[in-house]
Amino acid sequence: MTVLLCSNINLTNLQSLLNRYGMTLETVDDNKPIPGSFWQPPEAGLVGNTLFIRLDTPVHSALHETCHYICMDDERRKNLDTNAGGDYQEEDSVCYLQILLSDYITEMNQKRMLNDMDEWGYSFRLGSAQMWFEQDAEDAFEWLVKNKIITSTNQATWNIRKH
């Protein structure tokens, strides 16, 4: 199985999702460096409020970096260039949120996201993204609710973290 790439989705849906968080999308030409890519191409990059992708960027990477932007505090966000930083609790919350937001990309959904995360090598204590999400992610859920990023019913609020 191969992971879903940005070339396989309608990028208008990704841009619409980003718009809700005050972000923009920039597509980089094939074989060019991706600005702000921490792990290097084809991984997505972040500089300020701009998400950089190529068509060979995995959708899970684009959503993961988007969720870093959403979950970081204002101070880190205003100086954002490549390294999103954050602690383990925030990283878990980023993973949780990318799973929720995957339903807003028509070609991607939570099941596909969970499979792609496993395929790419995300590692979770229980052995799979799905098992983590269903059985061990209470702390990520609570962090997202506390920071008003999602509701207690697992719905996006379309807010970014403020502090």
Distance CA 106, CA 126 (A): 28
Q: What is the pLDDT of residue 125?
A: 73
Q: What is the pLDDT of residue 1?
A: 60
Distance CA 45, CA 3 (A): 18
Picking from 94, 111, 11, 1, the residue whose alpha carbon sits closest to that of residue 59 is 11
Tokens of 142: 């609570």
Residues 36, 45: contact at Cβ < 8 Å? Answer: yes
Q: What percent of the chain has pLDDT over 70?
A: 99
β partners of residue 49:
none
Residues 46, 33: contact at Cβ < 8 Å? Answer: no
Q: Measured in Å, how far apart are the chain's first and last C-alpha atoms?
A: 39
- pLDDT, tens digit, for every residue of 104-160? 999 999 999 999 999 988 877 778 999 999 999 999 999 999 999 999 999 999 999
Quickly count: other Cβ atoms within 10 Å of residue 10's Cβ: 11
The whole-number average pLDDT for the span 26-35 is: 96
Picking from 84, 90, 93, 103, the residue whose alpha carbon sits closest to that of residue 133 is 93
- The three-class DSSP label of residue 25 is strand
- The three-class DSSP label of residue 9 is coil
Phi, psi of 5 (to 5 degrees): -100, 160
Phi, psi of 6 (to 5 degrees): -60, -25
